[in-house]
């Protein structure tokens, strides 16, 4: 019997999350006439679907839009940050499954990170409890690369490529004057330092910029930081250092919170800035040196122009594999990547129990963090290097990339 498939996106965007959506829709089309009839997309994830917001991924999109979707950053379907209740007897589940049944949904695919896998876990456990044959599969995505059970996550490779490229360019920019300077680059990653660590790839040779890389897996000391900078300035003029947004002291207090406590605006409100800006001011005051901070900000997760071909290919593959898995009867699983080769790099999709994934965080192993928490090891480099390979050619119009936009439905 033919069933309909429903796909949604959740959590923060990445450069290739729509690649996975493209893969889902493309593979679902392959099953049309046999296992799958309509292909629906939740708008703004499970939260929007609860308000009956969804679209038909074929009828509501032109073929040009579908092609542009592949390389469009962000989340085409819109996203949400919505936590389903822990109590599976909560009426929201009855409402949801009623909606699934009315739309004759047989397969629910949810693209997201940690929290989204929590949704997949709850929905699949709920389906099991109610003897529903709706199959629920999670498709991983996050620039943070912090999902357990998978070698890496789609979205990370492109973000890492963006970070490595930007930090190399910033190093070039910082070196043009014949005077001492410090440049602090703040990189996303609240609890896991994968993306910040990828800045190591900006180096052309050992001990090139960035001279230091600080991850949130280790405690951060501002006094040690000042000392690190002072020492580096003894042998070189222009220093670039990378810090994760989530660096914190030994007491677990985020460095970005130091600033808030100090900076109060005209209205007496705390001003919110990042740790990079805090450290910039600290170095200026304590070392009296030219210093600048650069927050790579949302471009890390939404820049299309540094998409990694490997990452995009794998994101699409994860989407396709997940459809096949659901159609074959899997449920309560997340599609994961297993690295099957290093030279040359090779990867295979597998399935892992989503309950072993959700609400956990994969951090950078401490043995990959070196030099008193100021660098990463060769093992880290070998891990990340294959993930940033290859360029993607973007369709352009008038000098600007063409993206797919969802029309109001």
- According to CB under 8 A, which residues from 207 to 246 bind a second copy? none
266 scored as a contact of a second copy (CB under 8 A): yes
Q: Answer yes or no: are the C-beta atoms of 74 and 18 closer than 8 Å.
A: yes
Which 86-145 residues touch a second copy, going by CB under 8 A?
A: none
265 scored as a contact of a second copy (CB under 8 A): yes
- Number of neighbouring beta carbons within 10 Å of residue 336: 26
409 scored as a contact of a second copy (CB under 8 A): no
Q: Which of 239, 251, 350 is nearest to 291 (CA)?
A: 239
Rounded Cα gap, residues 377 and 366, in angstroms: 10
343 scored as a contact of a second copy (CB under 8 A): no
Closer residue to a second copy in complex, CB, 94/172: 172
Closer residue to a second copy in complex, CB, 233/385: 385
Closer residue to a second copy in complex, CB, 246/276: 276
Closer residue to a second copy in complex, CB, 31/203: 203
Closer residue to a second copy in complex, CB, 176/250: 176
Which 159-198 residues touch a second copy, going by CB under 8 A?
A: 161, 164-166, 168-170, 172-178, 183
148 scored as a contact of a second copy (CB under 8 A): no
Rounded Cα gap, residues 182 and 172, in angstroms: 13
Shortest Cβ distance from residue 1 to a second copy (Å)?
A: 34
Shortest Cβ distance from residue 330 to a second copy (Å)?
A: 28
Rounded Cα gap, residues 103 and 13, in angstroms: 27
Closer residue to a second copy in complex, CB, 44/244: 44
Is residue 344 reached through a cis peptide bond, with omega within 30 degrees of 0 on the bond before it?
yes
Which among 118-126, 134-142, 243-251, 262-270 is the span making contact with a second copy, rule CB under 8 A? 262-270
Closer residue to a second copy in complex, CB, 178/234: 178
152 scored as a contact of a second copy (CB under 8 A): no
Question: Long-range contacts: 269-277, Cβ < 8 Å, 24+?
Answer: 274/186, 274/245, 275/186, 275/243, 275/245, 275/247, 276/184, 276/185, 276/186, 276/243, 276/245, 277/186
Q: How far apart are the first and last CA of the chain?
A: 28
256 scored as a contact of a second copy (CB under 8 A): no
Which 382-401 residues touch a second copy, going by CB under 8 A?
A: 385, 388-391, 396, 398-401
- For a second copy, the binding residue among 4, 299, 370, 377 (CB under 8 A) is 299
Neighbouring residues of 77: CB distance < 8 A, sequence distance ≥ 6: 7, 8, 9, 21, 41, 42, 43, 44, 45, 55, 406
Neighbouring residues of 235: CB distance < 8 A, sequence distance ≥ 6: none
Q: Which of 114, 111, 136, 115 is nearest to 125 (CA)?
A: 136
Which 22-81 residues touch a second copy, going by CB under 8 A?
A: 44, 47-48, 72-75, 78-81
Q: Which of 88, 73, 75 is nearest to 48 (CA)?
A: 75
Question: Left, alpha or beta for 349 (phi > 0: left; psi -120 to 50: alpha)?
Answer: beta
Partnered with residue 349 across adjacent β-strands are 337
146 scored as a contact of a second copy (CB under 8 A): no
Residues serving a catalytic function are 144
- For a second copy, the binding residue among 295, 314, 317, 375 (CB under 8 A) is 295
Per-residue contact string for residues 304-323; x = within reach of a second copy by CB under 8 A: xxx-x---------------
334 scored as a contact of a second copy (CB under 8 A): no
378 scored as a contact of a second copy (CB under 8 A): no
Shortest Cβ distance from residue 33 to a second copy (Å)?
A: 33
């Amino acid at each position: 019997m033919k069933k309909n498939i429903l796909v949604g996106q959740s959590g923060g965007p990445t450069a290739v999350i729509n690649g996975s959506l493209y893969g889902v829709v493309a593979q679902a089309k392959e099953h049309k006439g046999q296992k799958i009839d309509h292909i629906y997309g939740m708008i703004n994830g499970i939260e929007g679907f609860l308000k009956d917001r969804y679209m038909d991924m074929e009828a509501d999109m032109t073929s040009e839009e579908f092609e542009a979707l592949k390389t469009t950053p962000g989340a085409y379907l819109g996203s949400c940050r919505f936590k389903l209740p822990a109590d599976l007897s909560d009426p929201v589940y009855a409402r949801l499954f009623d909606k699934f049944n009315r739309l004759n949904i047989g397969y629910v695919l949810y693209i997201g990170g940690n929290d989204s896998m929590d949704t997949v876990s709850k929905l699949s456990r709920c389906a099991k409890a109610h003897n529903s044959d709706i199959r629920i599969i999670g498709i991983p995505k996050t620039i943070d690369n912090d999902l357990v059970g998978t070698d890496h996550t789609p979205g990370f490779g492109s973000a890492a490529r963006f970070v490595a490229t930007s930090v190399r360019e910033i190093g070039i920019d910082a070196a043009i004057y014949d005077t001492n300077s410090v440049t602090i680059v703040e990189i996303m990653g609240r609890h896991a330092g994968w993306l910040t660590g990828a800045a190591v790839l900006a180096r052309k040779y050992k001990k090139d910029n960035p001279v230091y890389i600080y991850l949130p897996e280790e405690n951060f000391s501002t006094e040690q930081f000042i000392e690190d900078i002072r020492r580096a300035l003894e042998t070189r003029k222009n220093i670039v250092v990378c810090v994760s947004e989530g660096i914190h002291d030994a007491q677990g207090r985020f460095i970005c919170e130091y600033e808030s406590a100090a900076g109060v605006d005209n209205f007496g409100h705390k001003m919110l800035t990042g740790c990079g800006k805090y450290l910039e001011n600290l170095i200026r005051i304590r070392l009296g040196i030219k210093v600048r901070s650069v927050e790579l900000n949302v471009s890390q997760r939404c820049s299309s122009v540094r998409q990694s071909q490997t990452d995009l290919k794998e994101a699409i593959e994860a989407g396709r594999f997940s459809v096949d898995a659901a159609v074959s009867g899997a449920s309560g699983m997340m599609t994961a990547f297993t690295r099957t080769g290093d030279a040359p790099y090779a990867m295979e999709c597998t399935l892992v129990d989503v309950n072993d994934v959700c609400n956990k965080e994969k951090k950078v192993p401490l043995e990959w963090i070196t030099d008193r928490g100021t660098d990463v090891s060769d093992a880290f480099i070998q891990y990340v290097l294959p993930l940033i390979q290859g360029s993607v050619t973007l369709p352009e119009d008038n000098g600007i990339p063409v993206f797919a936009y969802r029309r109001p439905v």
